[in-house]
Structure 1
Amino acid sequence: MHRSLAKTVTSREIWSWAMYDFANSGYTTVVITAIFNAYFVSVVAGNAPWATLAWTLALAVSYTLIMLFAPVIGAYADAYAAKKKLLAATTIGCVIFTALLAFAGPNSLWLTIPLIVFSNFFYGCGENLIAAFLPELARGRALGKVSGWGWSLGYVGGLVSLGACLAYVTWAQGHNQKATDFVPVTMLITAALFALSSLPTFMFLKERALPQPHLQGLNIFQESFARLGHTLRRAKQFRDLRRFLICTVFYQAGIQAVITLAAIYAQQAMHFTTQQTIMLIFVVNITAAIGAFLFGHVQDRIGHIPTIALTLFGWIGMILLAWGAEGPTQFWIAANLAGVCMGSSQSAGRALVGFLSPAARRAEFFGLWGLAVKFSSILGPITYGLVSWISKGDHRLAILITGSYFVAGLLILAGIDVKRGRRVALRKENQS
């Protein structure tokens, strides 16, 4: 392990960094992917024709806020070496708003939508900040491996949260409780596990970055926006990183649609029960953890681009399987293929951004990466939601059309030269 770590970085610190992936994965697994999204459509929105679209629009508002603020937060984090402090603030925000989702119920759109918007906003900003620590912790040639450790432990965290919720749901249904009784409690379970599991990160992870020279005559917000504008202008010099960020928008649009709408598709198109859906996502998290861990090693051996290309072919195959599934067996195969591809493609993308970024501006460039991912989080789910609404509930057509984003991402990926991009990053790093 130590050969993969940067100087002065300990195994305990790597574990504490990866524990944040463990902690925050409970939010995406339970709230966005497995339980609350389907609950929103069926209970909060009462299975209205616009219910799926309303869910995707609520997330779109949240991701728009992240797009506006995350790069500025990243610029501020670089200027003041404040990644850890900001990470603590976003964690507290996500935990509080997730716990408040326990008050969501029938006819509570006025309450539920703002809670989803803000809980997801804080989650997304924290996701960018924890990613910006990666290049400080791992050696350049081991970024994929160390990133894979984090993603794989993250899926284990999702399993723990989902497993705890599944145990409670099983008990509640055994006592004849309805979704309006047990789903709110799962929000409290998720919030509590997020808070507890993130404690090692704040206890042991070090802030190694040094404050950058400040711009005179500007307050902290003006300076952050000024730095962001400078980053956007400088991004033009990073040809391959810029192309990969565009590629990220497309293939992540497909991934985010699957993550956001998996439980909805399972229940609406495949007629799964809540318990069956939770069990499906539980197993998928296992395959995702395996995929993230194995492909982290594969990425460092065969290269960033071949690894991502391999996962995109897998995603295309998964979409075709899910679209054509007539029974639960084929859908289970498709879902687990998605799990393998999800863990590996997410890990590989994060590592490649770190590999192509200059050291002094990593938080800003990870902010731009977050910007790309969040834009895709609007594009993919909204596409699915609009197609399902226009087609009057044809979820199979919606997932097939959403799958075209993986094809577009694969085509854009072909034009990226990683060696050239790395040389540019190192040259700019030496000049700074």
Structure 2
Amino acid sequence: MSDLHRPDIPPSSAAATAATATATRQAASTGPLRPGVRKREAWAWAMYDFANSGYTTVVITAVFNAYFVSVVAGGAPWATFAWTAALSLSYALILLSAPLLGAWADTHAGKKRLLAWTTLGCVLGTVGLALAGPGAVALALAFVVLSNFCFGSGENLIAAFLPELAEPDSLGQVSGWGWGLGYVGGLVSLGACLGYITWAQANGQGAAHFVPICMLITAALFALASLPTFLLLRERATPQPQSTESAWSRVLATLRQAGRYRDMRRFMLCIVFYQAGIQAVIALAAIYAEQAMGFSTADTIQLIFLVNITAALGALAFGRWQDRIGHVRAIALTLVGWIVMVLLAWSAQGPTPFWIAANIAGLCLGASQSAARALVGYLAPESRHGEFFGLWGLAVKLSSILGPLTYGAVSWLSGGDHRLAILATGSYFVIGLALLAGVNAERGRRAALGG
């Protein structure tokens, strides 16, 4: 935002400060970035989304999950449950630790230090998955829990930098840069792995040979692509040694003062519900495509590529629009889109309507994820970014347990009716939309500025 347009400078003083403003703009960033934030630093922040997205795309969604069920566990009846249980355990650990890590990061100005450790943990955990051959169930599950815990913790920490980089009225746009670049990163990692898989299969190699190499490729790309973040991103927070509060005390104080941050509190509850629907789609879309729609493995891979492309477009295009129409209205539009997507997928009897539903899911995925991160940044007090983004992580990880387990339970109780399962999880979007109606972003912003 230009200094000549800042509301705290009276119009009468604009001419007198013109020379100073011009000089300031030469040294500081303009537009969506805060003064002192250079474009390359914002790019370095967004590159972390590029770096870590390969992990979720390759390990959680497209490659290792199926490999675990069919090869590591030998197709055992309990294999899918074991996989989802391991993911649920990692999410539960994040749920318990995220607010505490965020509070510690705020007190010690240590977001970047913690981010380095979680990045190292996820990279090493992904390398560990390369050791999981046929029958190595316990080893595979242990490294899944470790890598996914570190991934989720790092996701919260990198998000806490957003309010330090973007102007309050441009949080959606800058958040969209990260989410959009993240989906591109997922495509790069998936493309590299699929290129190797194609070569390996042409040379007669099976999954037990090429999937471990894919884990090494994913880990290497994560490590390399995250280097700009650690080289260029600055830690702008200052330590708070004068505080005698422990991390637990700060989190408990925030919970006790929930009435003061009532819009943040309601939005966190809203996140739990609508993210439950999103997490179910992310974790189980490939299973739905194969079980309900009869897709082949090749069709499913094409579906994942398509969803990542449309998600990138949705995040990049929607971010700027979100800043114009308002955070709450923008998120409401994405939830309506999710409801339409669920109804299309539930009713689809052929591939065409399902592909349309997949396109809608991709657009809504990028837009809704980016929009939520921006609204949390808008509602978070300046001195507690890490803590409030930790609470955001808590809400998302709780939903990561709730959504997939709901889908699995409905499918199991209904005798394998995946259409009923996706319709049931779609109800979470309706609940989220109803809760969102009670969120007043401007009132919540005033509370944050006072905190």
Give yes or no for TM over 0.5. yes
Partner amino acid, structure 2, of 1:8: G
Secondary structure at 2:130 match in 1: helix
Structure 2: which 5+ residue stretches go unaligned?
1-28
Shift of 1:398: 1.6
CA contact (8 A) 1:32 1:260 kept: yes
Could you report, residue by residue, the CA deviation over 1:56-111 in whole angstroms, capped at 9, with x for unpaired residues?
22111001100111111101100000100110000000000011111234333211
Secondary structure at 1:212 match in 2: coil
Secondary structure at 1:415 match in 2: coil
In the other structure, the counterpart of 1:323 is 346
CA contact (8 A) 1:74 1:366 kept: yes
Aligned 1:91-240 pairs, distance under 5 A:
91-216=119-244, 223-240=246-263
CA contact (8 A) 1:152 1:290 kept: yes
In the other structure, the counterpart of 1:67 is 95
CA RMSD of aligned residues (A): 1.6
Shift of 1:42: 3.1
Could you report, residue by residue, the CA deviation over 1:338-361 in whole angstroms, capped at 9, with x for unpaired residues?
110000000000000010111001
Of stretches 263-272 and 61-70 in structure 1, the one that deviates more from structure 2 is: 263-272
In the other structure, the counterpart of 1:45 is 73
Distance 2:212 2:313 in 1: 30
Aligned 1:13-32 pairs, distance under 5 A:
13-32=41-60
Q: % of aligned pairs identical?
A: 68
Shift of 1:174: 2.4
Matched, 1:354 2:382: no
Matched, 1:407 2:430: yes
In the other structure, the counterpart of 1:243 is 266
CA contact (8 A) 1:256 1:380 kept: yes
Shift of 1:151: 0.5
CA contact (8 A) 2:107 2:243 kept: no
Could you report, residue by residue, the CA deviation over 1:233-276 in whole angstroms, capped at 9, with x for unpaired residues?
22331011100000000000011111112222223333333333
Partner amino acid, structure 1, of 2:407: Y
Distance 1:187 1:267 in 2: 24
In the other structure, the counterpart of 1:34 is 62
Higher relative contact order, structure no. (Cα contacts within 8 Å, ≥ 6 residues apart) = 1
Q: In the comparison of the two structures, how many residue pairs are matched? A: 423
CA contact (8 A) 1:79 1:214 kept: no
Shift of 1:327: 3.0
Distance 1:197 1:347 in 2: 20
In the other structure, the counterpart of 2:337 is 314
Could you report, residue by residue, the CA deviation over 1:345-390 in whole angstroms, capped at 9, with x for unpaired residues?
0000000001011100111011001100000001001111222233
Distance 1:374 1:82 in 2: 22
Distance 2:183 2:383 in 1: 30
Distance 1:327 1:108 in 2: 39
TM-score calculated relative to the size of structure 1: 0.94
Of stretches 22-31 and 228-237 in structure 1, the one that deviates more from structure 2 is: 228-237
TM-score calculated relative to the size of structure 2: 0.90
In the other structure, the counterpart of 2:449 is 426
Structure 1: which 5+ residue stretches go unaligned?
none
> Bigger radius of gyration, 1 or 2?
2
Given candidates 288, 291, 294, the residue that maps to 1:271 is 294
Distance 2:81 2:421 in 1: 12
Shift of 1:215: 4.1
Could you report, residue by residue, the CA deviation over 1:11-59 in whole angstroms, capped at 9, with x for unpaired residues?
0000000000000011111111222222233333344444333322211
Partner amino acid, structure 1, of 2:157: L
Secondary structure at 1:207 match in 2: coil
Aligned 1:74-85 pairs, distance under 5 A:
74-85=102-113
Given candidates 290, 293, 299, the residue that maps to 2:322 is 299
Secondary structure at 1:270 match in 2: coil
In the other structure, the counterpart of 2:356 is 333
Partner amino acid, structure 2, of 1:84: K
Shift of 1:214: 4.2
In the other structure, the counterpart of 2:275 is 252
Distance 2:213 2:348 in 1: 33
Shift of 1:337: 1.2
Shift of 1:336: 1.7
